[in-house]
Amino acid sequence: MSKRAIKIAAIPGDGIGPEVIDAGMEVLMAIAGRDGGFDIKSERFDWSSQRYLDKGDFMPEDGLATLRGFDAILFGSAGDPRVPDHITLWGLRLKICQTLDQYANVRPSRLLPGIEGPLKGVTSKELDWVIVRENSEGEYAGVGGRVHQGLPEEVGMDVAVFTRSGVERIQRFAFELARSRPRKLLTLVTKSNAQRHGMVFWDAVFEQIKGDYPDVTTDKMLVDAMTTRMVLKPESIDTVVATNLHADVLSDLAAALSGSLGIAPTGNLRPERDAPSMFEPIHGSAFDIMGKGIANPLGTFWSGAMLLEHEGEAAAAARLMRAIERVTGEGKYLPRDLGGKASTREVTDAVLEAIQQDNA
Ligand code: ATP
């Protein structure tokens, strides 16, 4: 019988994207070879700001249809100083997420072995969170406008859009995720004291559905208070669900508290699996270090582990995580943003070796 092949579309994008995605694909191929139970077939797409500058679009017209032929997408980063950020974001990343309706953005944060975060005395025992971000509507729905441009009465408006189906599906996804984790604890984050329509609606939907998950303990926080709790009481948090904007901000804080932006992964999931999900490191294009060979590839490797997990290859995902943790735990080949001196190549080689040596 022929082996199952996971078809991955690799989109390196801008800045350090190509460096970390090439390393990520190398590691994923090694994992598939080591595991033996599945193959990986991948194709690399040059969809980027450079392409936009050269050809006027970030991807070809049939780009999204092409992506539908893949099981998963490994994405690098989108952002180039020569192109306004909102053009890049809406032209590539958000276009993919929104068209494929990848509505659940999942961002794990954990202090890996050997990594010291900025919080004193805090280890992976205290800091092991998953933030679930609504990824299809809310504050980033793209609804709004500008009128009277350039005049004194100029107006700029962004309207947050919350639909019952959108709110309910992301909250139910978060309940299921919380239920699958040992602590079974879910925190709803909103701002329903100040935003008295959409956020009160979020609270109400949560109240309506929580009875379906009697085994999950719940609590509620305002987003401003949540930032304080993340810093002062990290051990009181497990799974968090919040809107597009709030979770965007909270997850960058979470990434910083767990060591570095360079290590944090994320998955833009299409839980129904009728379209590919997209996995990417949380960091941006980091043009300041582009081409120097020093980008931290661990966020991409961890994203690759999330990809494998989503594709049902839990054992391979666990092996990859063990390899990453072995490298961080040993501390010999840490990249610069984690206080070491290792290059992207050296970190990658160390993880490749740890994969080969893993005997579990
Ligand atoms: P963008 O505009 O695409 O969001 P950015 O450069 O403004 O990109 P980030 O790329 O998220 O923002 O990173 C901020 C800083 O963190 C970078 O300037 C870089 O020094 C550091 N950094 C980010 N990712 C990495 C990484 N993978 N390895 C090492 N350093 C990183």
Of 229, 257, 285, which marks where a domain is finished? 257
- Residue with the smallest CA separation from ligand 1 atom 31 is 262
Find tokens 């609606």 and name the residue. Answer: 201
Residues 85 and 195 in one domain: no
Chain segment 131-170, per-residue pLDDT in tens: 999 999 999 988 999 999 999 999 999 999 999 999 999 9
Maximum CA pair distance of the chain?
70
Cα–Cα distance, 75 to 9 (Å, whole number): 8
Among protein residues, the one with the nearest Cα to ligand 1's atom 9 is: 284
Each residue of 146-185: b (16+ CB within 10 Å) or e?
eeeeeeeeeeeeeebbbeeebbebbbbbbbbbbeeeeebb
pLDDT value of residue 3: 83
Q: Where residue 286 sits, what CATH number does that domain have?
A: 3.40.718.10
- Give 80's DSSP letter: B
pLDDT given for residue 125 in this prediction: 87
Is residue 174 included in any domain, yes or no?
A: yes
Residue carrying structure tokens 């139970």 = 37
Going from the Cα of 118 to the center of ligand 1, the distance in angstroms, rounded, reads 18
Asked, for residue 113, whether it belongs to a domain, the answer is: no
Number of domains in the chain: 2
What are 199-230's pLDDT values in tens digits? Answer: 999 999 999 999 999 999 999 999 999 999 99
Mutation pick for ligand 1 pocket among 107, 261, 263, 285 (CB with most ligand atoms within 8 Å): 261
The residue contributing the CA closest to ligand 1 atom 3 is 284
- 247 and 308 in a single domain? The answer is no
Q: 7 vs 39, 67, 74, 103, 281, CA distance in Å?
A: 9, 10, 11, 21, 19
Asked whether the beta carbons of 67 and 100 are under 8 A apart, the reply is: yes
Kindly indicate the confidence band of residue 64, based on its pLDDT and cuts at 50, 70 and 90.
very high
Same-domain check for residues 266 and 249? no
Smallest CA separation from ligand 1 atom 19, residue: 286
Q: Measured between alpha carbons, how far is 293 from 246 in angstroms, rounded to an integer?
A: 33
Alpha carbon 336 to its chain's center: 22
Single-letter amino acid code for the residue at 318: A
Burial of 29 (0-12, 13-18, 19+ CB in 10 A): middle
One domain for residues 211 and 85: no
What is the Å distance from ligand 1's center to 21 Cα? 15
Quote the pTM value: 0.94
Please give the C-alpha separations between residue 126 and each of 232, 234, 235, in angstroms, as whole numbers.
11, 6, 4
Q: Tell me the CA–centroid distance for residue 264 and ligand 1, in Å.
A: 12
The verdict on 246 and 266 lying in the same domain is no
On whether both 85 and 176 belong to a single domain, the answer is: no
Q: Domain for residue 164, yes or no?
A: yes
Q: Which of 257, 287, 319 is the last residue of a domain?
A: 257
Site to probe by mutation for ligand 1, drawn from 20, 263, 283 as the one with most ligand atoms within 8 Å of Cβ, is: 283
Ligand 1 centroid to 262 CA: how many Å? 7
CA of 50 from ligand 1 middle (Å) equals 18
Mean pLDDT of the chain: 95
Pairwise CA distance, residues 50 & 83, whole Å: 9
User: 58 and 24, same structural domain?
Assistant: yes
pLDDT value of position 1: 60
Tell me whether residue 148 is in a domain: no
147 falls within a domain: no
Mutation probe of ligand 1 site: the residue of 253, 289, 296, 302 with most atoms within 8 A of C-beta: 289
| Residue 212 CA to ligand 1 centre (angstroms) | 41
Q: Which two tokens stand for residue 8?
A: 């991955």
Residue 232 CB coordination number (10 Å): 9
* Residues flanking ligand 1, CB < 6 Å: 16, 77, 79, 261-262, 283-289, 295-296, 299, 335, 337
Is position 150 within any domain?
Answer: no
Residue 237 falls inside a structural domain: yes
**pLDDT score, position 359:** 85
Q: Does 126 share its domain with 248?
A: yes
Q: What is the rounded distance in angstroms from the CA atom of residue 205 to the CA atom of residue 202?
A: 5
Pair 82, 133 in one domain: no
285, 239: one domain:
no
Q: Residue written as tokens 């999931």?
A: 269
Ligand 1, atom 12, residue with closest C-alpha: 284
Of all protein residues, whose CA lies closest to atom 17 belonging to ligand 1?
Answer: 286
Are 272 and 248 in a shared domain?
no
Task: Compute, in degrees rounded to 10, the torsion defined by CA atoms 339, 345, 348, 350.
Answer: -70
Structural domain ending residue among the three candidates 257, 274, 298: 257
Of the candidates 222, 167, 159, 161, the residue with the CA atom closest to the CA atom of residue 190: 222
Q: Which residue has the tokens 């070879």?
A: 33
Residues sharing a CB contact under 8 Å with residue 155, sequence separation 6 or more, in sequence order: 146, 147, 148
Residues 351 and 278 placed together within one structural domain of the fold: yes
Between strands 277-281 and 265-269, the pairing is antiparallel
* Domain enclosing residue 322, as ranges: 1-104+262-360
DSSP string across 264-315: -EEEEE-TT-SS-EEEEESS---GGGTTTT----HHHHHHHHHHHHHTT-HH
Atom of ligand 1 nearest to the CA of 299: 27
pLDDT digits (tens, 9 = 90+) for 244-280: 999 999 999 999 999 888 999 999 999 999 999 999 9
Asked if the structure places residue 324 within a domain, the reply is: yes
